[in-house]
């Protein structure tokens, strides 16, 4: 976008404008996403507990409940405990929020020749995992500077938990990187183009297991129930945010929902095909860049909707889990990580490596679409007949 | 347009100033958690410098290892030293002198090294803009596996890489050995 604009205006202005547009879009994703998710969480919780949830504010389904909550939070007094470390106490929510927002910068929302991504990083997966791990820093600062033992306990638990769960999370995220052969999220997403059996979830049995381990670890690393030990209200009042009120408190929740969305989007790109849907609608309709930039743009828009839908689905599953399972004890949380998640992830990593080594492009799940295209374009491959072209490509492992 | 501001330079000075300012703040502060916070900002600004130089892998590594590592450092700092509610560290006069001496020596040596090596002189603007931005992760990985793409004889760092890996494995096993439960737990988990 910056290159496009700099044809018409000053270069610095073009870059600034492009940056502002990207930031505004992503901030809206986080903020409006949080608004929607809080409403959704209440509805999901209500339905699971056999009640209605919010029904009054803003029509039949209580759409505007979160907005009303937000207004209430803005009018609340911004309290700070007497003995608190003022500077750290005030800055902690922003640290959390910045980390969760910075992770979304490198997330692509559509691929192809013109990917929808604010900052196309060659090492996207790695960057996102590194930055998401920093969110806990705000929590620790908050817990420490509140001068309250509940906050400190919550922060310490969170630190132990997040540092432990980074290990299996990294091991799981490495598996799609291994199969795609790159850490670039745009390429990982595009490597799963086509119908749903091209997704890495169905690549081999090991990736299928790894996905569930990833999801467990992601739930734990964004500090959601049943792993929300840091705010265990039955024992720690409210954990690390006990002393917070008003808008600062809500910043922690924006950060939490933001990183929930970030890990769900990452899961959908790594395992669920990203912007490539269960059915390749954009391709069937001809919405690709081969048919001109406008059609390609619409195709990307469709992909963007697709990946966001998958992300929202992931977040909804996290909510479902939260209201279904009871909270674990801290020793159980660490046991789950070190005795189950890490060995399973490590074994599946080795298994996926072995599978990739033996059958580099899968054994039975050949893409019919690729076969179809090959049959259409067989003269280009130099084979004698269409069947020969398919056989040759299969031999080379191209499809 | 050639007379316009060269933005990478501006961002270099910005990140460098942030890194240095918070580095000084670490030294001047006496509260251990604030120190850790300033250290994180300083290291993050250094990661920004790496990203600016096009070394995105090293930058992300800096974020993961140093900034994330400071976090663990902070936890230990709080857990192991906490007597009062807010830990503060006082430095004696002699320690201050020794630290200034050591730090000054290191700084002068680094500055001297940075200025004296002719290959490290900055490029002029035209040649700086001509340098293509290349991905760094794959060459780094190849180098660690013993096949450097940039060296003519393909000599890599496989041995060093393996030694470091085995060393880390030993450390992990040692930590697990030290941290294991000494006797059987009486209650079932």
Give tens-digit pLDDT for A124-178. 888 888 888 888 888 888 877 777 777 777 888 888 888 888 888 888 888 888 8
- Burial of residue A90, with CB atoms counted within 10 A of its CB: 0-12 exposed, 13-18 middle, 19 or more buried: middle
**Mean pLDDT (whole number) for A240-246:** 73
Q: How many CB pairs under 8 A join A and B?
A: 75
Each residue's pLDDT tens digit, A184-211: 888 787 777 777 777 777 777 888 888 8
Joined tokens for residue A57: 């504010």
C-alpha span between A148 and A135 (Å, rounded): 21
Average pLDDT, consecutive stretches of 10 residues, N- to C-terminus, chain B (189 residues) = 68 89 85 81 88 83 81 71 59 83 92 81 71 73 72 74 91 84 57
User: B33 and A130: CB-CB below 8 Å?
Assistant: no
**Distance between B102 CA and the closest CA of chain A, angstroms:** 31
- Kindly list the residues from chain A whose CB atom is less than 8 angstroms away from the CB atom of residue B68: 130, 133-134, 166
User: What does the pLDDT read at residue A155?
Assistant: 81
Task: Indicate if the pLDDT at residue A366 is higher than 60.
Answer: no
Q: Give the position of tokens 């199969």.
A: A179
**Mean pLDDT (whole number) for A6-34:** 76
Contacts of B16 (CB under 8 A, 6+ apart): B45, B49
User: A122 and B135: CB-CB below 8 Å?
Assistant: yes
Nearest residue to A171 (alpha-carbon basis) of A131, A225, A207: A207
CA nearest A127 in B: which residue? B60
Model confidence, pTM:
0.79
Task: Indicate if the pLDDT at residue A180 is higher than 90.
Answer: no
**Distance between A234 CA and the closest CA of chain B, angstroms:** 20
Selected residue with higher pLDDT from B91 and A384: B91
Each residue's pLDDT tens digit, A299-356: 777 888 888 888 888 888 888 888 888 888 788 888 888 888 888 988 988 888 888 7
User: What does the pLDDT read at residue A361?
Assistant: 58
Joined tokens for residue B18: 């942030």
Joined tokens for residue A120: 């196309």
User: B137 and A129: CB-CB below 8 Å?
Assistant: no
**Mean pLDDT (whole number) for A36-61:** 79
φ/ψ of A181, rounded to 5, equals 75, 20
Is the ipTM of this structure higher than 0.85? no
User: B71 and A137: CB-CB below 8 Å?
Assistant: yes
Of A15, A127, A137, which has the smallest distance from its Cβ to B60's Cβ?
Answer: A127
**Under the phi-then-psi rule, with left for phi > 0, alpha for psi from -120 to 50, and beta for the rest, what region is A58?**
left
**Mean pLDDT (whole number) for A238-250:** 74
Q: How far is CA A194 from the centre of its chain?
A: 21
Per-residue confidence band for A55, with pLDDT thresholds at 50, 70 and 90: confident
User: What does the pLDDT read at residue A4?
Assistant: 61
Selected residue with higher pLDDT from B78 and A259: A259
């Amino acid at each position: 976008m910056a290159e496009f604009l700099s044809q018409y205006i000053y270069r610095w202005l073009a870059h600034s404008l492009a940056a502002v547009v990207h930031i505004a879009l992503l901030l809206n994703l986080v903020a409006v996403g949080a608004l929607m998710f809080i409403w959704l969480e209440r509805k999901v919780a209500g339905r699971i507990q056999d009640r209605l949830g919010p029904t009054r504010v803003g029509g039949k389904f209580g759409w505007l409940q979160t907005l009303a909550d937000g207004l209430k939070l803005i009018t609340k007094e911004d309290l700070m405990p007497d003995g608190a470390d003022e500077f750290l106490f005030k800055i902690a929510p922003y640290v959390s929020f910045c980390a969760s927002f910075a992770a979304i910068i490198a997330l692509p929302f559509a691929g192809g020749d013109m990917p929808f991504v604010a900052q196309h990083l060659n090492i996207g997966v790695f960057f996102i995992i590194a930055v998401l791990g920093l969110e806990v820093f705000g929590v620790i600062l908050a817990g420490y500077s509140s001068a309250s033992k509940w906050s400190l306990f919550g922060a310490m638990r969170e630190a132990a938990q997040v540092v432990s769960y980074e290990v299996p999370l990294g091991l799981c995220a490495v598996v799609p990187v291994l199969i795609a052969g790159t850490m670039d999220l745009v390429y990982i997403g595009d490597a799963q183009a086509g119908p749903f059996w091209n997704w890495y979830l169905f690549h081999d049995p090991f990736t299928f297991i790894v996905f569930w381990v990833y999801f467990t670890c992601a739930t734990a690393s964004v500090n959601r129930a049943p792993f929300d030990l840091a705010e265990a209200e039955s024992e720690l009042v409210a954990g690390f945010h006990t002393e917070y009120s008003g808008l600062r408190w809500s910043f922690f929740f924006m950060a939490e929902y933001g990183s929930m969305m970030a890990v769900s989007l990452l899961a959908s790109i790594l395992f669920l095909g990203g912007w490539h849907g269960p059915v390749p609608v954009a391709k069937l309709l001809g919405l690709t860049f081969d048919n001109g930039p406008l059609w390609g743009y619409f195709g990307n828009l469709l992909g963007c909707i697709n990946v966001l839908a998958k992300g929202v689905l992931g977040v909804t599953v996290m909510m479902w889990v939260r209201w279904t399972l009871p909270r674990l004890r801290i020793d159980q949380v660490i046991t789950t990580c070190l005795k189950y998640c890490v060995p399973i992830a490590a074994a599946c990593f080795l298994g996926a490596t072995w599978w990739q080594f033996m059958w580099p492009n899968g054994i039975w799940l050949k893409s019919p679409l690729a076969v179809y295209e090959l049959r259409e374009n067989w003269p280009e491959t130099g084979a004698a007949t269409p069947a020969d072209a398919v056989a040759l490509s299969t031999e080379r492992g191209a499809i | 347009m050639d007379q316009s501001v060269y933005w990478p330079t501006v961002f270099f000075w910005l990140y460098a100033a942030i890194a240095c300012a918070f580095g000084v703040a670490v030294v001047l502060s006496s509260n251990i958690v604030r120190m850790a916070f300033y250290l994180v900002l300083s290291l993050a600004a250094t990661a920004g410098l790496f990203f600016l130089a096009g070394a995105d892998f090293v930058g992300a590594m800096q974020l993961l290892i140093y900034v994330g590592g400071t976090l663990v450092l902070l936890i230990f700092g709080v857990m192991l030293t906490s007597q009062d509610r807010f830990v503060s560290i006082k430095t004696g006069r002699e320690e201050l002198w020794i630290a200034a001496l050591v730090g000054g020596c290191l700084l002068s040596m680094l500055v001297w090294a940075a200025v004296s090596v002719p290959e490290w002189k900055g490029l002029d603007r035209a040649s700086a803009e001509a340098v293509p931005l290349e991905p760094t992760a794959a060459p780094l990985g190849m180098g660690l596996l013993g096949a450097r793409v940039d060296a003519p004889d393909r000599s890599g760092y496989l041995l060093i890489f393996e030694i470091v890996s085995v060393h880390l494995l030993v450390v992990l096993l040692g930590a697990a050995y030290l941290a294991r439960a000494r006797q059987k737990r009486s209650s079932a988990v």
